[in-house]
């Protein structure tokens, strides 16, 4: 999962891109990058680290131009290192920089075609670089010295025919503007908005609407599945659906965990969706345990707070903040390596013993993936004096890997895979465990936008919305995503400090 932003303004957009990326930092903590264009001259800065650490004053001075694209990254298969920071850049045709959120499911075959048939060289194993080269090649095939909106849309249509998977993309094309597009199933999120100024309209494209809000852009709408959006350097907006047989099946895990609650995604308020998750979970608890002995509901910060509040209210039980979060520790779900995740949980959270002592506590989490966090927090609750510790998950049991851009581990590392609810509860040390029903989760999101009746719920039910996910593919993914392989890959990637691009002074600090 990554965060994207692109802006076409009437003056330098470097600081606005920086501010937008800080609002999307929750979507990726591994690396950050910005590319801008000024009178045909493309400038970039990208490196490993948080937004505040990657960009310094000297970088912002260099990033001139009234249009640009930014990216925050988290690795989806253990890969890390400065060479994989985005945006990626190719100089032909025109000069194109690409930022990508998602994951292609046919990367290997497309990479082979690019090398054999298109004579394109790629410097990394990133599917984002593959996507960039496909777009560049399809645009180059048109053979136009000066491209039009229709030319960009034809190139995007060809991209949709060649690649599979989940992808939201923003590209900067030198001297032309921004071209953004979304996969035909609308799996990965992308929105765009407008801000009127004295000098004319300015446009912004981003992964989440919250980035638009902060910069004063009015949300126009989501980019439709299979749609491309072209914004010229002068601020002209062009849109076209470039894929055949599109469907609307966004990733429901955005509503569960990744997105900020103040974002609107696919016309659905993430905040309201999480409220409804809590309400439905309370209904299930009252059905299964009408005589429950829960004294207090305590959320595991931060993404379960909203659903926890609704759950407590509907149970008629006290809601208390019993776990305090260290704001300087990243999101443990996207922490690489099991040992680092275990260490981070203890650094990240501390108990308020008063809220646990001599009470039957219901902990609420957004989801339970590996069980690492849950097991440690349950033990922390017992150490703080809780009599009984129950745990409720606002999402169903995660039993299958994600293949569209979220680093869900191999199935062996998913605590619910092959286990009953009781066995999971025993494994994490809970007295009782309750999961959300998948029908209720879907209803909690669909209620916000009746036009969307399907969601990508593959991590819960194993039904992948693209037709190319085979067992062979999942086996290869499992080999790449187990912790042992990720640690080996990370050592190799971090040793590669050569970032191919226009400028790179990350070594200066």
User: SS3 letters for 470-493?
Assistant: CHHHHHHHHHHHCHHHHHHHHHHH
Strand partners, 206: 5, 191
Q: Which two tokens stand for residue 34?
A: 């910005």
User: SS3 letters for 378-426?
Assistant: HHHHHHCCCCEEEEEECCCCCCCCCCCCCCCCCHHHCCCCCCCHHHHHH
Sign of CA pseudo-dihedral 56, 168, 275, 414 = negative
DSSP H helix total and E strand total for the chain:
17, 22
Q: Which of 2, 37, 242, 251 is catalytic?
A: 2
Do the beta carbons of residue 21 and residue 3 sit within 8 Å? yes
Cβ count within 10 A of residue 220: 17
**Residue written as token pair 């004063």:** 216
Chain centroid to CA 487: how far? 22
Do the beta carbons of residue 320 and residue 296 sit within 8 Å? yes
| Phi, psi values for residue 281, rounded to 5° | -65, -35
Do the beta carbons of residue 465 and residue 249 sit within 8 Å? yes
Half-sphere exposure of 402 (CA within 13 A, CB side): 23
Separation of alpha carbons 312 and 397, rounded Å: 21
**Residue written as token pair 């903590």:** 29
Do the beta carbons of residue 2 and residue 405 sit within 8 Å? yes
Q: Decide if 37 is catalytic.
A: no
User: SS3 letters for 239-302?
Assistant: EEECCCCCCCCCECHHHHHHCCCCCEECCEEHHHHHHHHHHHHHHHHHHHCCCCCCCEEEECCC
Sign of CA pseudo-dihedral 214, 220, 223, 229 = negative
Contacts for 426 with CB less than 8 Å, ≥ 6 apart: none
- Mind telling me the catalytic residues? 2
């Amino acid at each position: 999962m990554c965060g994207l932003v692109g802006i076409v303004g009437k003056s330098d957009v470097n600081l606005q891109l920086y501010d937008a990326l800080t609002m999307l930092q929750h979507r990726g903590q591994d690396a950050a990058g910005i590319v801008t264009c000024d009178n045909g001259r493309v400038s970039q800065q990208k490196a490993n680290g948080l937004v505040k650490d990657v960009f310094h004053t000297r970088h912002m001075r260099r990033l001139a131009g009234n249009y640009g694209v930014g990216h925050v990254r988290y690795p989806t298969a253990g890969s890390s290192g400065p060479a994989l920071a985005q945006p990626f850049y190719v100089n032909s045709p025109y000069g194109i920089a690409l930022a990508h959120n998602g994951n292609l499911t046919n990367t290997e075959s497309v990479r082979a075609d690019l090398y054999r048939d298109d004579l394109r060289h790629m410097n990394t194993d990133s599917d984002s670089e593959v996507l960039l080269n496909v777009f560049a090649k399809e645009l180059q095939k048109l053979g136009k010295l000066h491209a039009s909106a229709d030319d960009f849309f034809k190139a995007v249509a060809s991209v949709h025919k060649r690649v599979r998977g989940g992808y939201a993309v923003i590209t900067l094309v030198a001297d032309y503007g921004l071209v953004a597009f979304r996969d035909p199933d609308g799996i990965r999120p992308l929105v765009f908005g407008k801000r009127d100024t004295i000098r004319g309209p300015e446009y912004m494209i981003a992964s989440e609407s919250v980035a638009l809000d902060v910069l004063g852009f009015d949300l126009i709408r989501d980019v439709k599945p299979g749609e491309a959006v072209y914004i010229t350097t002068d601020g002209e907006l062009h849109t076209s659906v470039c894929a055949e047989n599109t469907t609307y099946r966004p990733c429901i895990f955005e509503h569960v965990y990744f997105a900020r609650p103040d974002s609107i995604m696919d016309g659905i308020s993430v905040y309201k969706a999480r409220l409804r998750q809590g309400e439905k979970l309370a209904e299930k608890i009252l059905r299964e345990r009408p005589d429950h002995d829960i004294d207090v509901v305590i959320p595991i910060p931060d993404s379960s707070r909203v659903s926890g509040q609704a759950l407590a209210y509907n149970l008629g039980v006290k809601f208390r903040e019993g776990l305090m979060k260290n704001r300087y520790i990243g999101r443990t779900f996207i922490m690489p390596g099991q040992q680092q995740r275990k260490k981070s949980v203890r650094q990240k959270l501390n108990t308020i013993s008063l809220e646990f002592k001599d009470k039957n506590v219901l902990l609420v989490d957004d989801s339970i993936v590996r069980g690492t966090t849950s097991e440690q927090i349950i033990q922390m609750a017992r150490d703080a004096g809780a009599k009984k510790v129950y745990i409720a998950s606002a999402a169903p049991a995660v039993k299958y890997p994600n293949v569209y851009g979220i680093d869900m581990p191999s199935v062996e590392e998913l605590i619910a895979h092959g286990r009953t609810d009781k066995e999971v509860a025993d494994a994490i040390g809970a007295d009782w465990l309750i999961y959300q029903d998948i029908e209720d989760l879907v209803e909690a999101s669909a209620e916000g936008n009746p036009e969307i009746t399907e969601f990508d719920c593959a991590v819960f039910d194993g039904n992948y919305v693209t037709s190319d996910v085979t067992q062979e593919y999942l086996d290869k993914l499992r080999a790449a995503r187990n912790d042992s392989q990720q640690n080996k890959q990370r050592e190799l990637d971090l040793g590669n400090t050569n970032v191919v691009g226009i400028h790179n002074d990350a070594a200066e600090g």
